Structure 1
Amino acid sequence: MEKNDRECNNNHEEKKKRTIMMKNKKRNISRLGGRGLSLDVFANAKSNNSRYNPALIKKQREFNKNAKHVQKFKKLLKQQNQQNEPSVAQRHIESLNETGGDKDNNERRKRKKDSAFSLEELYKKTHEEKEKERMEKEAFFKEKKEQREKAEARRKGIREKMLKKTRKGQPVMKYRIEHLLETIQGSTKNAAGNNS
């Protein structure tokens, strides 16, 4: 009886070991990428040109950019055509009025025209505001640029003076002392202004 129990336990343990080994084997195979490549597949995989190619990337970017521009152009054309041609609904209303439509239709038509005009005015106002903002920003940036250029020119002048040398190669102290005097006077003025 005990012998049968031992054999049964041994068989059970062996089955567990086999299943664990099979799981490990499957895991290793999947981790390594399958069972391996055939010689033909390996050779073809090597011959594929999958390297980084900047020219192709540049071409693709250019194509996308052009497609974007074309799409914008088509959109603008569509908007212009809609503005130039009255809509189907407006033509329908006009035909109803010509055939003897009610006063309500006339009022509706007037309201639609008024709303169209008000929309157009609103568009013009927003466009003018945007244009005004753009001009203000431009003026602001232009002023900043001028200030930057003036400061740069001043620094360049000071630098040239500071780097001047005598015939023997010694620095000219006159400009350096003037610069030190100016900075001291500026700091005393700032200190006097802060104290009062």
Structure 2
Amino acid sequence: MKNRNPNQSGNGDRRMMGGPKPMTVKKKKSMNRLGGTGTGLSLQAFANAKSTNNNYNPALLKKKREFYKNVKYVNKYKKSLKQQNQGNNGLPSSSRTPEDENEEINGWTNKMKNTKKKNGSLTLKEVYKKQWEEKEKAMIEREAAIQAKKEQREKAEAQRKVERKEMFKKTRHGQPIMKYRIHTEFI
């Protein structure tokens, strides 16, 4: 009661006490958030908001990616043709007919499938075979190690079973047989 002014009523001022905000304040804030007036956005503002170009269209992005991918493949193909042309007596590609080029393309694909590259590196197929063989070898070794551990575990378990059976042997009167429980070593 010390902080109250004598001219205030019994309820006190809501702003001073931090109570719930009146409905008009909430309504005013929501109106401002929605665009100022209670009528919402104007037709012009709505049209402008919808027509902004944010440059995000997944279909166009996909087309662009595909286009650049194809360009890369075409450039690779052209380079390989140039290299072949240099190997074929230095004849320029303009002096040949389209049929010659088709034969050359087929010959190039067959060569790449059946032979190694000039620098001695392995073809993709051979690299794949080598990797597969290494993986298979590692898998066989792993399986052998797992099998050895399993056999060792089974052997130890059988041994423990035998020892346990002897440990709990009893006479016909139910007394334990102590010779299996006490291990004495003579020095």
TM normalised by structure 1 equals: 0.41
Structure number with the higher helix fraction is: 1
Larger RCO, structures 1/2 (Cα 8 Å, 6+ apart): 1
